[in-house]
Amino acid sequence: MTILALTITAMIIVVLLVASAFFSSSETALTAASEARMRALAAKGNDRASAFERLSQHRDLLISSLLIGNNLVNVLATSLATSVMITLLGESGVVIATILMTIILVLFAEVIPKTFAINHADNFALAVSRPVAVIVFLLKPFSISLRWIVNVIIGKSNSNAVDREEELRGMIEIHASGSDEDAREQSAMLSSVLDLGEVMVDEVMTHRASVAMIDAGQDIEAVFMQVMSSPYTRHPVYSGKQDNIIGVLHVKALLRAMGEAANNKKLDHITITDIAAEPYFVPETTLLMNQLQAFRQRREHFAVVVDEYGDFRGIVTLEDILEEIVGEIDDEHDESITGIWPQDDGSWIIEGDTTIRDINRALDFNLPDDDASTLAGLVLNESRTIPLPGQEFRFYQVRFRILRRHRNKIERVRIWPEPNLSRNTKAKTEEPK
């Protein structure tokens, strides 16, 4: 082999090594780049980001094409190097070429390019998206053939929406870990949005025992006094018994009707059933995400919750759902009642009708809410009895003592966390009355 031939071969080997580095770094950058950022750039009209999105939609073809190209240039470079070393050194050139090319390929075609690509993933992915798109197009027949062979051997991928949700939850937790309070608050809100697809209406509704209701048989003055003394804007209207909900009275509708009647001096002619809006009934098993969408479509803020038998269970509002995402939303008319009071000995006194979700959020507990939505319900479900005041129970690393019971209703409980359970003091510090 002449010197000219050796020089040309060496130059070809260098070009092949550069191509190998390109394939390796492109694979790393295109798989590590932020899809969210690329989508945002594509929405702004960035052509390179759009090319990245098209590649991401067919990730199997992308990976196959890059692997084909990478292995092709690696094998060709190694073969040429071996041929040169055999020409120069004889049979021993095979061993030397193997060792030399292994070091060169690992260092200059794998480690360095991939390290650079992972450190500059987004920018590098934008830079290589267009040339890689051309390569994927040229190698598409080979990639499809390889994909068919792989599917025959190991089967098709069964990734689904659940996998994507778990990945998203993991990203949210990573964002929250080691961050400041604002970042943790943002992460909690994002997690709550995902939870809307798993939490049902009966877990956040206001139970019927706590609902301010209006009897349709009352006169207008009594209704007016009841509405004005209530902190709520909307009130279910019942006829006869409270399960018979016939409407929802909005305070604006009442004041508007009373104003018009006062001008005509006909207050006695106002009928609550005439000014009450048609009630909107929803089953207690409705998921919060579906209910939120229903509120938006119907332009409603208020729904009456019923069970499988059609019996009145409670009410749910748009504010209840939004509070699941952003936390408590109080205005100047809301009653500031949390039902959770920390004590000096490290325990908490909690109202029995406080929801488990509120307790978990306020105290950083992990009490289950699958079979019961309130603290009283959890105690009843776990103890399998109606406990007396003074009785204590231990479950889920928490000690419960019944403080007050009215008939069969548990009204107040004191709880102590076990030493290995994390605690938080987000609850308000006002003492129970």
pLDDT attached to residue 18? 92
pLDDT for res 171: 67
Q: Which helix (H) or strand (E) holds 175?
A: helix 161-176
CATH topology for the 201-326 domain: CBS-domain (3.10.580)
State residue 264's pLDDT score: 63
Read off the pTM.
0.55
User: One fold for both 201-326 and 340-417?
Assistant: no
State residue 427's pLDDT score: 40
DSSP state of 346: S
Burial string for 395-406 (b: 16+ CB within 10 Å, else e) reads: eeebebbbbebe
Q: Is 144 helix (H, G, I), strand (E, B) or coil?
A: helix
Please report the pLDDT score of residue 366 as a whole number.
78
**Which residue's structure tokens are 């048609």?**
278
At 183 the pLDDT is: 67
Q: What is the DSSP letter of 271?
A: -
Q: Supply the pLDDT for residue 426.
A: 41
d(CA 234, CA 211): 10
Rounded CA gap, 179 and 2, in Å?
A: 64
Domain ranges of the chain: 3-156, 201-326, 340-417
Q: Write out the CATH class of domain 340-417.
A: alpha beta
Q: Helix %, strand %, coil % for the chain, to 5?
A: 55, 15, 30
What's the pLDDT score for residue 208? 81
pLDDT below 70 — which residues of the chain? 1, 155-185, 261-269, 327-338, 419-433
Q: How far is the C-alpha of 373 from the C-alpha of 376, rounded, in Å? A: 9
Radius of gyration for the alpha carbons in the chain, expressed in angstroms and rounded: 34
